[in-house]
Amino acid sequence: MSQYQESSIRVLKGLEPVKQRPGMYTRTDCPLHIIQEVIDNAADEALGGFGSTIAVTLHTDGSVSVEDEGRGIPVGLHPEEGVSVVELVFTRLHAGGKFDKADGGAYRFSGGLHGVGVSVTNALSTRLEVTSCRDKQVGKLVFSAGDVIEPLVIRPWASGDKKKGTSVRAWPDAKYFDSPALPVAELERLLRSKAVLLKGVKVTLTIEKSGETKTWQFNEGLSGFLKEELLDRELVAPIFTGDLSIDTKADEGFAEGEGAAWALAFTVDGAQVRESYVNLIPTPAGGTHESGLREATFQSVKAFCEMHSLLPKGIKLMAEDIFSRASFVLSAKVLDPQFQGQIKERLNSRDAVKLVATLVRPALDLWLNHHVEDGKRIAELAIKQAQARSRAAQKVEKRKSSSVAILPGKLTDCESTDITLNEVFLVEGDSAGGSAKMGRDKEFQAVLPLRGKVLNAWETDKDRLFANQEIHDISVAIGVDPHNATDNPDLSGLRYGKICILSDADVDGSHIQVLLLTLFYKHFPGLIRNRNVYVARPPLFRVDVPSQGKRAARKIYCLDLAELHAVQDKLAKEGFKEAVIKVSRFKGLGEMNAEQLWETTLNPDTRRLLPVTLGSLDINETNVMMNMLMGRGESQARKGWLEEKGNMVEVDI
């Protein structure tokens, strides 16, 4: 305790947080992501209609430069901060032009609102040079490790200078990355995707060492790109394309200019091509915009099959039957995109599901009815997938029939026997369990209510586990016996592909999560290695927004306080006064009705579901940490750990 006093508390200023914990802000396996931040800024300029060329150069000294023909970063003094704007952008976290989303804002559509961007590039570079050309002036500024080493110099525009645009040259600092080398193939794919999405914009990559220059420029856009990617595969029907935006007369509750462009194809065999973007940012892990495309495709093809009486008796189409052979490129424009993680690999914005589905569904309905024979071939492909799934499920059931255990009485099971689709929710309490039972999709979702807090099983012997009724019911319901980390467990009896922990978004709910995760880590580690365990994240707040003009009243759910503040800021910019917006806080899952629970937590298209995986620590270090946290005789060690780390957490009590 003598070492923990007032002077022990450090306040990290400027770019120091990035240098201390770079992994919180960017990828640390290689410097590609910090260079991508600069490329994204150039692409945002092109997206806004400013400039038709983006040039990237890999220099022989290990530096990378990015040049655009945009408006150029302003070099004058900021009216409030008293510092040149170009210096502010590169030296302050959460400073940039992308927060102003109002009509006429500098970047109405851009890749997210994290506001760290190029300041992270600057912090993690040994040297960074910025040149901005605008208003017949040229401004240049040089940094080292985030600090200004050559102050801003502004001179009149001269012959040979670019008329407008920004040039950034960065030397990534190798000490922050596992490998200092840029993966050229991945960089090429990134630049090629920018060219695909920015129709008519020329993107070049020059490698000084080899003297090679590559150029990408696509005039056909998404359909040409997808056609090229699927060149050697048999298409069932022509590629379905579209590019639609919300206009001012729309009555869907979306912002003017939001929209989606897509190219969708179905192939008989071969690997699928699936690429998606939000405001030109690649989303390799997909997200809610892909869910909207999936939902629209499923509903359209299903309606087409029903209209033409194509479904054989006893066959029920599911979304995966239709989408399993689909390839697509999807580009969404979203006003305030919410991403998972700073590297923006997955879109989490719930509104994006409805946005994309609203635009794609009518267009695909019309296309199918104008191309009936093509539609029938797509339907036939989906029906074959459904029949194969049905046959596989029957085989599994026959193999299990002689050894099925008696399932727990409180388990509300699902109808499907396909474990790739099935999921079970371990729900805290009977009241929440009741809402979950009513709100679930009974086709593939099961519910197992738990009574109170599960036993801390960290120090419980495997042979004694079944003395606890809750653990016995969990094991029987999922169809897997307890095992050790060193075992090669038999997972053939697994009944659900996803085992989802669903508890309240409060301290008690977090405790229940920890106890269940301890149980799975200690006694069912094979499920974690197999990526079968998930944690559902129900929202903490609901915002009731009244009607406004043609926009109907709506409800917005917020995961936490930060998301609530972001929503309140957005609504304020839309003209809503604070007094007319009602904010409700959920005390627990039991307060939600079935419809709310489905919309926020159970619906695969709109929920937040986190996979549980093993971290970067090796197994011995992880076991030491778990023993300190969950061991009965480790109270002193826990106390010391809490005293040391307690200032790092915000507890919602």
Structural domain spans, the chain: 16-216, 222-394, 411-537, 541-585, 618-653
- pLDDT tops 90 at residue 337: no
Residue with tokens 């102050």: 151
Residue 269: the pLDDT is: 84
One-letter identity of residue 271: A
Instruction: Note whether 211 and 60 are within 8 A (CB).
Output: no
Model confidence at 63, pLDDT cuts 50, 70, 90, reads very high
Q: Are strands 339-340 and 346-347 parallel, antiparallel or unpaired?
A: antiparallel
Query: 589-611 burial string, b = 16+ CB within 10 Å, else e?
Result: bbbbeeebbbbbbbbbbbbbeee
- Per mean pLDDT, which of 462-466, 534-538, 617-621 is the most reliable? 534-538
Q: What are phi and psi of 288, to 5 degrees?
A: -70, -25
Residue 334: the pLDDT is: 86
- pLDDT tops 70 at residue 463: yes
Residue 432: the pLDDT is: 67
Higher pLDDT, 434 or 248: 434
- pLDDT tops 60 at residue 399: no
- pLDDT tops 70 at residue 339: yes
Cα angle 121-125-131, degrees, rounded to a multiple of 5: 70
**Residues linked to residue 241 through DSSP beta bridges, in sequence order:** 263
Higher pLDDT, 307 or 452: 307
DSSP-assigned letter for residue 600: I
**CATH superfamily ID and name for 16-216:** Histidine kinase-like ATPase, C-terminal domain (3.30.565.10)
Instruction: Note whether 501 and 535 are within 8 A (CB).
Output: yes
Quick one: which of 524, 535, 518 has its CA closest to 457?
518
Please compute the mean of the pLDDT values over residues 591-614 and round it to a whole number: 84
Residue 348: the pLDDT is: 84
Q: What is the mean pLDDT of the chain?
A: 84
Least confident window among 88-102, 195-209, 403-417: 88-102
Residue 4: the pLDDT is: 64
Percent pLDDT > 70 in the chain is 89
Q: What is the pTM of this model?
A: 0.59
Q: In which order are the strands placed within the sheet that holds 423-428?
A: 445-450, 423-428, 498-502, 533-536, 609-611
One-letter identity of residue 413: D
Residue 285: the pLDDT is: 85
- pLDDT tops 50 at residue 508: yes
- The residues annotated as belonging to the active site are 428, 504, 506, 508
Quote the CA–CA distance of 487 and 526 in Å, as a whole number: 8
Contacts of residue 562, Cβ cutoff 8 Å, sequence gap at least 6: none
The alpha carbon dihedral of 388, 390, 394, 397 has a sign of positive
The pair of structure tokens assigned to 43 is 């692409």
- Fold exhibited by the domain 411-537: Rossmann fold (3.40.50)
Q: In which order are the strands placed within the sheet that holds 202-207?
A: 147-156, 137-144, 125-134, 165-172, 64-68, 53-58, 202-207, 212-216
Model confidence at 106, pLDDT cuts 50, 70, 90, reads very low
Model confidence at 99, pLDDT cuts 50, 70, 90, reads very low
Residue 59: the pLDDT is: 94
Least confident window among 1-10, 283-292, 333-342: 1-10
- pLDDT tops 70 at residue 580: yes
Model confidence at 484, pLDDT cuts 50, 70, 90, reads confident
- pLDDT tops 60 at residue 279: yes
- pLDDT tops 90 at residue 212: yes
Residue 450: the pLDDT is: 86
Residue 170: the pLDDT is: 94
195: left (phi over 0), alpha (psi -120 to 50) or beta: alpha
Quick one: which of 234, 423, 382, 376 has its CA closest to 298?
382
86: number of CA atoms within 13 Å, CB side? 28
Can you list the positions of beta strands (E) in 280-371? 281-282, 326-333, 339-340, 346-347
Higher pLDDT, 514 or 506: 514
Question: 222-394, which class in CATH?
Answer: alpha beta
- pLDDT tops 50 at residue 595: yes
Least confident window among 174-188, 339-353, 513-527: 339-353
Residue 12: the pLDDT is: 62
Residue 652: the pLDDT is: 58
- pLDDT tops 90 at residue 111: no
Contacts of residue 55, Cβ cutoff 8 Å, sequence gap at least 6: 66, 67, 68, 203, 204, 206
Instruction: Note whether 247 and 78 are within 8 A (CB).
Output: no
- pLDDT tops 70 at residue 96: no
Query: 378-406 burial string, b = 16+ CB within 10 Å, else e?
Result: bbebbbebbeebeeebeeeeeeeeeeeee
Cα dihedral 510, 515, 517, 519, rounded to 10, equals: -170
Residue 576: the pLDDT is: 85
- Predicted confidence (pLDDT) per residue in 486-500, tens digit: 888 888 889 999 999
- Predicted confidence (pLDDT) per residue in 176-201, tens digit: 888 888 899 989 988 988 888 888 89
Least confident window among 123-132, 150-159, 355-364: 150-159
Please compute the mean of the pLDDT values over residues 319-338 and round it to a whole number: 89
